[in-house]
Amino acid sequence: MDVSVVILAAGQGKRMGSDLPKVLQPLAGRPLLAHVADTVGALDPTRICVVYGHGGERVKAAFSDAELVWVLQAEQLGTGHAVMQALPHLGADDVVLILCGDVPLVRAATIEPLITAAETDKLAILTTNLADSYGYGRIVRDIDSHVRAIVEEKDATDEQKLIKEINTGLMACRAQFLTAWLPRIKSDNTQGEYYLTDIVTCAIDDGVSVVPVHADNPAEVLGINDKQQLAAAERNHQRSVTDALMQQGVTMIDPNRVDVRGKLTCGRDVVLDINTIFSGDVVLGDDVQIGANSIISNASIGAGTRILPNCIIDQTTVGKSCEIGPFARTRPGVELDDQAKLGNFVEIKKSRIGKGSKVNHLTYIGDTTIGERVNVGAGTITCNYDGVNKHPTVIGDGAFIGSGVELVAPVNIGAGATIGAGATVSKDAPAGELTVERARQKVIRGWQRPSKDKSG
Ligand code: UD1
Ligand code: CA
C-alpha cells in the first residue's frame, strides 16, 4: 500500500516574532522542517509533499537536494485548506499521513500506529495529555469515550478548555476520505480558517471510525509556535540525545551543558566536559576527552586523544593519542597523524601534521605538509598567501623550525633541516643542514636613552 506524507509548513509563524519562516527556525542547528523530513524518510513513504507558502522560496532553497514534492499554498487559509492543496499529488488509494512542520521531535515509532489504523479505513489522530493544554485543539469525547470533535482553543467553551487531552496535529487516513471531506469544511470559526480538525466531524457523519492514538511522551509531540517553545523543544531534544549517550557509557560532567547539533558517535570511556558543542558528523574514538568550551564540527578524533579547553576543531581528522589546545583552532582540511601535538594559540588550515610532530605555541600553519617528528617553534608563520594565490609549504621528517620563523611559500624544508630562530625563509632549505637568515647583532656602546622633555 502506498503511503504519502503531507507536511504542513506554509504558516508564517507570527508568534515567532521573526522574519525567518517558522519551519526554518533552527532546532539542534537544523531547520524544524528538516527534523520532520528526516523522520518520515525513515518510514520510506511513496512520496513526501511539503505544503509551503510563507517565505516560499527561502524554504525551498533550504532543502534544495531533498526529494520532496513542493506544494504551494499561496494564501494561508488554514490547515484544512493546506491539505487540500496537496490532494492532486496523492493517489486515490494512498494512506495519507499528515504531519506538521512545527512538531519536529516526533519519532517514527510514534507515527507508525497512525498508518496502521488508516490502512483499515479509519481516521487516526495522534493525541496526548498535557498538564497545561493551553493553545492546543482539545479532544472532545462523548460519554462512551468516543471522539466527537476537536475544538480549537479560540473556539472552546470554558468547560472544553479544561480538557487535558489534545490534538498533536498529526493524523492519517485514506486520500479518498480527504477528497470527500475537505470540500465540506467551512471557515465559520473564530479564526475564519478552514480547520483540518473538522474532518473528525465529517468522518463521524460518514460512519468512519475515529481512532485516537495516544502518544505516551508529550515532549515528543509538542508544537512549536514561539521562541519559548522553541527553546523548550531544544532542551527536550538535547536531553534525549545526552541521555542516550550516557546510557551508552559516555561521561558528561554536566549533560545540561553539552549540545549536539548533528550526529555524535562515541567510543568507550569518552569524557565530555562542560560547554562542549558538537555539530555535523562527529566521531570520537575510545578514551577521547573533550575539554571545556570546545566546539567540534564535522570531525573525527582518534582513540586516546585529548582536546584541552577552548578549542575549535572544524572539518578535521585527528589521529590517536594526539593533544590539542588549550586555545587551538583547526580549520577545514586539517589532518593530524597519531601523537601529534598542537598547543595554545595555534591555527592550522588545510594542512597535514605528521606522526609525533609538535606545533606548540602561537603559530599559523596553512597549506602545509609537515612530516613526522617535526618541531615547529613558537611564533612560526607560514606565509601561504601572496594576496592573490595560496602556495604550499613542505617540511620534511625530523626538521626543527626555530621560533619566530616565517616560511614564505612556496618553500620546502628538507628532512632533518634546522632553521635558526627569526629566519624569513623564502628559498628551499636543504635537508640535514642549518639554515639561518638573520642580520648580525650589534652593540652600540654608550648609547643613552632619551630623557623626558621638561619644557612640554
Ligand atoms: C494546530 C491544530 C491544533 C493542534 C496544534 C498542535 C488546526 C486547526 N489546529 O493548531 O488542533 O492542537 O496544531 O500543534 O489544525 N499551516 C499551513 N497552512 C495554513 C495554516 C497552517 O501550512 O494555512 C501549517 C503551519 O505552518 C504549521 C501547521 O500547519 O506547521 C499548524 O498550524 P498552526 O497555525 O501552528 O496551528 P496551531 O494553532 O498550532
Ligand atoms: Ca502549531
| CATH code assigned at 89 | 3.90.550.10
On whether residue 205 sits in a domain, the answer given is: yes
Question: What separation in angstroms does the CA of 335 have from each of 289, 310, 349, 370, 383?
Answer: 18, 19, 9, 10, 19
**Mean pLDDT, each 10-residue run in order, the chain (456 residues):** 96 92 96 96 94 90 87 96 98 96 96 97 98 97 97 98 98 98 97 97 98 96 96 96 98 98 98 98 98 98 98 98 98 98 98 98 98 98 97 98 98 98 98 96 96 82
- Looking up residue 347, the CATH number of its domain turns out to be 2.160.10.10
Q: Contact, 125 vs 170, CB < 8 A?
A: yes
Q: Are residues 75 and 156 in the same domain?
A: yes
On whether residue 237 sits in a domain, the answer given is: no
On whether residue 393 sits in a domain, the answer given is: yes
- Point out the ligand nearest to the CA of residue 101: 1
**Burial code of 236-247, b = ≥16 C-beta within 10 A, e = fewer?**
bbbeebbeebee
| pLDDT for position 456 | 64
Question: What separation in angstroms does the CA of 263 have from each of 104, 105, 269, 336, 444?
Answer: 16, 15, 18, 22, 63
Report the number of secondary-structure helices (H) and strands (E) in the chain. Answer: 8, 36
CA–CA separation, 137 and 146 (whole Å): 16
Q: How many CB atoms lie within 10 A of CB 444?
A: 5
On whether residue 260 sits in a domain, the answer given is: yes
For the annotated catalytic residues, the residue numbers are 361
On whether residue 226 sits in a domain, the answer given is: no
**Burial code of 353-384, b = ≥16 C-beta within 10 A, e = fewer?**
bbbbbbbbbbbbbbbbbbbbbbbbbbbbbbbb
Q: Are residues 311 and 424 in the same domain?
A: yes
On whether residue 350 sits in a domain, the answer given is: yes
* β-pair type (400-401, 375-376): parallel
DSSP state of 134: T
CA–CA separation, 369 and 350 (whole Å): 9
| pLDDT for position 97 | 98
- Point out the ligand nearest to the CA of residue 102: 1
Domain of 140 in residue numbering reads as 3-220
| pLDDT for position 57 | 87
DSSP state of 287: T
Q: Are residues 278 and 340 in the same domain?
A: yes
Rounded to the nearest angstrom, the distance between the alpha carbon of 61 and the centre of ligand 1 is 22
Q: Contact, 375 vs 393, CB < 8 A?
A: no
| pLDDT for position 166 | 98
Q: Are residues 289 and 351 in the same domain?
A: yes
Q: Contact, 143 vs 125, CB < 8 A?
A: no
- Point out the ligand nearest to the CA of residue 138: 1
Q: Are residues 33 and 131 in the same domain?
A: yes
Rounded to the nearest angstrom, the distance between the alpha carbon of 72 and the centre of ligand 2 is 19
Q: Are residues 178 and 321 in the same domain?
A: no
On whether residue 447 sits in a domain, the answer given is: no
Rounded to the nearest angstrom, the distance between the alpha carbon of 13 and the centre of ligand 1 is 9
Q: How many CB atoms lie within 10 A of CB 75?
A: 9
On whether residue 346 sits in a domain, the answer given is: yes
| pLDDT for position 1 | 83
Cell numbers for 346, please give them.
595555534
Domain boundary among the residues 220, 253, 271 is at: 220
Mutate which of 79, 85, 178, 230 for ligand 1 pocket (most atoms within 8 A of beta carbon) = 79
Q: Are residues 210 and 280 in the same domain?
A: no
| pLDDT for position 415 | 98
Q: What are phi and psi of 220, to 5 degrees?
A: -75, -25
Residue 193 three-state SS: coil
Nearest CA to ligand 1 atom 11: 137
Rounded to the nearest angstrom, the distance between the alpha carbon of 43 and the centre of ligand 1 is 23
Mutate which of 15, 100, 220 for ligand 1 pocket (most atoms within 8 A of beta carbon) = 100
Beta strands in 142-229 (DSSP E): 147-151, 165-174, 210-214
Q: Are residues 195 and 307 in the same domain?
A: no
Q: What are phi and psi of 227, to 5 degrees?
A: -70, -30
Q: Are residues 205 and 170 in the same domain?
A: yes
Q: What are phi and psi of 200, to 5 degrees?
A: -60, -45
Q: Are residues 286 and 344 in the same domain?
A: yes
Q: Contact, 368 vs 391, CB < 8 A?
A: no
Q: Are residues 263 and 207 in the same domain?
A: no
Looking at the 3D structure of the chain, how many domains does it have? 2
Ligand 1: nearest atom to the Cα of 194: 8
Nearest CA to ligand 1 atom 17: 10
Q: Are residues 283 and 191 in the same domain?
A: no
| pLDDT for position 67 | 86
